[in-house]
């Protein structure tokens, strides 16, 4: 594999396995955009998944912060 160019056409996703006899997992995630590929890999392996999305950043505070920063940059 080393030295070969990456190519999605020839990529074969490995099959994932769970421990024990259960074929389901509980996942926690704080960054949904980052979870996409992992969730697809689990799904492609036929594993049932429950994903608990948790974001400790309050949406209103985050939006207000971004707005203040944008306005500050625009005034410069």
Structural domain boundaries in the chain? 11-75
Question: How far, in Å, CA of 21 to CA of 15, rounded?
Answer: 16
d(Cα 10, Cα 28) in Å, to the nearest integer? Answer: 31
Query: Residue 18 above 90 pLDDT?
Result: yes
Side-chain-side CA neighbours of 60 within 13 Å: the count stands at 0
Query: Is residue 1 pLDDT above 60, yes or no?
Result: no
The pTM of the full predicted model, rounded to 2 decimals, is: 0.58
Alpha carbon distance 76, 53 (integer Å): 37
Summarize pLDDT for 23-38 with one digit per residue, the tens: 999 988 877 777 888 8
Query: Which is higher by pLDDT, 45 or 69?
Result: 45
Residue 76 vs residue 22, higher pLDDT: 22
């Amino acid at each position: 594999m080393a030295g070969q160019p990456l190519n999605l056409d020839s990529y074969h996703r490995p099959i994932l396995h769970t421990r024990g006899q259960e074929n389901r997992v509980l996942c926690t995630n704080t960054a949904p955009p980052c979870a996409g590929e992992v969730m697809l890999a689990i799904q492609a392996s036929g594993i049932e998944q429950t994903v608990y999305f948790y974001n400790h950043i309050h949406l209103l505070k985050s939006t207000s912060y971004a707005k203040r920063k944008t306005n500050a940059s625009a005034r410069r």
